[in-house]
């Protein structure tokens, strides 16, 4: 029996106005997310991962707008929703954890005040109730001395503790979906492992669905149920996490996997970086956007843009190499 998606993104297109003309950062992105599922958006910087998330949340900069597509959350289209109605969803049913907590937390307010604000607004708690719940949330995410930390300001906490505060804030209204935008990038590897384990345990405990944005395939292996690989504003491959590592189809996905250092790699061996760089959004190449970096490119790749098409059950690829592949019955 098929599960009704919690989130259904269909043909999302996001554009920014610039001095040099309009720039399309997200171009026809589609994916779905089931309740309790974790989807990782992965790709190099500039591939459109964060803009996709900000589009879903309605947090685009003033020069940005969604020009096409829909974002259905529990059947309600968030695109074009009035700000007042969108604010009822944002922070309550959908929460976001940003990359750098020090720029997301208000430096002049205590941790407790910032945690309580959302709960007072969305849950109708009194200040005393919100403070008590803030302490409980800080304890839940593993912060010691929670009763003291609740009265501290952000600068008094370490990077790992600030990120735990952000997770507590995201969990405060018991959301159905959390979007985490590279939440461990600024942390050292030991703290990163602790944060990833905490998020995985909390997701399993609460049944919260997650969209996890990262460029780190090690994080993908740790967190994902399914993966959408993005390149130059488009999804180029989508499948479950096991298939992605065992049988990647798109040349870009394969190149990402080849570029990862392995513990078994002999000393002195060179890494295999992907040549070139993500294209300038103002001067997008014709045809397949990856063709000028692809080792398997054909003549048609330079002129004809491929569509994202199924190559197997629950596995889609945007590549001319699989144009003739038949989907199994």
Q: Is residue 55 within 8 Å of residue 14, measured between CB atoms? A: yes
Name the H helices within 217-274. Answer: 217-223, 241-246, 251-258
For 17-55, write each residue's pLDDT tens digit: 999 889 999 999 999 999 999 999 999 988 999 999 999
pTM of structure: 0.90
Query: Mean pLDDT for the chain?
Result: 90
Q: Is the pLDDT of residue 2 over 70?
A: no
Q: Convert the pLDDT of each residue in 81-132 to its tens digit.
A: 998 899 889 888 999 998 777 778 999 999 999 999 989 989 999 999 999 9
Least confident stretch, 173-182, 237-246, 272-281: 272-281
CA distances from 73 to 38, 111, 233, 247, 255 (A): 15, 30, 22, 31, 33
Residue 271 has pLDDT above 90, yes or no: no
Instruction: Look at residue 185 and tell me whether its pLDDT is greater than 90.
Output: no
The 8-class DSSP code of residue 248 comes to: -
- What domains, with CATH codes, occur in the chain? 7-93+178-262+273-322 (3.40.50.300), 108-172 (no CATH)
pLDDT bin (cut points 50, 70, 90) of residue 301 is very high
pLDDT of residue 149: 95
Q: How does residue 328 score in pLDDT terms, banded at 50, 70 and 90?
A: very low
Question: Is 329's pLDDT higher than 60?
Answer: no
- The distance of Cα 290 from the centroid of its chain, to the nearest Å, equals 21
Averaged pLDDT for residues 238-265: 90
Q: Which has the higher per-residue pLDDT, 5 or 185?
A: 5
Q: What percent of the chain has pLDDT over 90?
A: 64
Separation between Cα atoms, residue 63 and residue 215, nearest integer Å? 26
In the structure, what pLDDT confidence band is assigned to residue 324 with cuts at 50, 70 and 90?
low
**Residues in Cβ contact with 82 at an 8 Å cutoff, skipping those fewer than 6 apart:** none
Question: Which stretches of the chain are DSSP H helices?
Answer: 49-57, 83-89, 101-104, 111-123, 127-140, 146-149, 159-171, 189-206, 217-223, 241-246, 251-258
The β-bridge partners of 31 are: 9
What share of the chain in percent tops pLDDT 70?
96
Please indicate whether residue 266 or residue 301 has the higher confidence score (pLDDT): 301
Residue where the block lists tokens 């570029």: 259
């Amino acid at each position: 029996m098929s599960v009704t998606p919690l989130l259904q993104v269909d043909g999302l297109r996001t554009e920014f106005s610039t001095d040099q003309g309009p720039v399309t950062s997200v171009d026809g992105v589609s994916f779905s997310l089931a309740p309790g599922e974790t989807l990782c958006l992965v790709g190099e910087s500039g591939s459109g991962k964060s803009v996709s998330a900000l589009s879903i949340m309605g947090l685009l900069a003033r020069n940005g707008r969604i020009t096409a597509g829909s974002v259905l959350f529990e059947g309600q289209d968030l695109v074009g929703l009035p700000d007042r109605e969108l604010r009822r969803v944002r922070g309550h049913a959908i929460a976001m954890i940003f990359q750098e907590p020090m720029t997301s937390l208000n430096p002049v307010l205590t941790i407790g005040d910032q945690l309580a604000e959302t709960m007072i607004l969305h849950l109708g708690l009194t200040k005393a109730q919100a403070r008590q719940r803030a302490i409980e949330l800080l304890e839940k995410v593993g912060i010691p001395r929670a009763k003291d930390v609740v009265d501290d300001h952000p600068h008094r906490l370490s990077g790992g503790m600030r990120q735990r505060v952000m997770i507590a804030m995201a969990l405060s209204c018991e959301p159905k979906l959390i979007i985490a935008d590279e939440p461990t990038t600024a942390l050292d590897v030991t703290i990163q492992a602790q944060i990833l384990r905490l998020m995985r345990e909390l997701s399993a405990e609460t049944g919260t669905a997650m969209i996890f944005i990262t460029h780190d395939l090690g994080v993908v292996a740790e967190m994902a149920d399914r993966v959408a690989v993005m390149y130059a504003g488009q999804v180029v491959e989508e499948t479950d996490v096991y298939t992605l590592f065992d049988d990647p189809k798109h040349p870009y996905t394969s190149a990402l996997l080849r570029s990862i250092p392995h513990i078994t790699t002999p000393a002195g061996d060179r890494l295999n970086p992907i040549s070139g760089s993500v294209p300038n959004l103002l001067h997008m190449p014709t045809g397949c956007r990856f063709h000028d970096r692809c080792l398997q490119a054909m003549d048609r790749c330079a002129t004809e843009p491929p569509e994202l098409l199924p190559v197997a059950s629950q596995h889609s690829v945007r590549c001319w190499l699989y144009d003739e592949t038949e989907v199994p019955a």
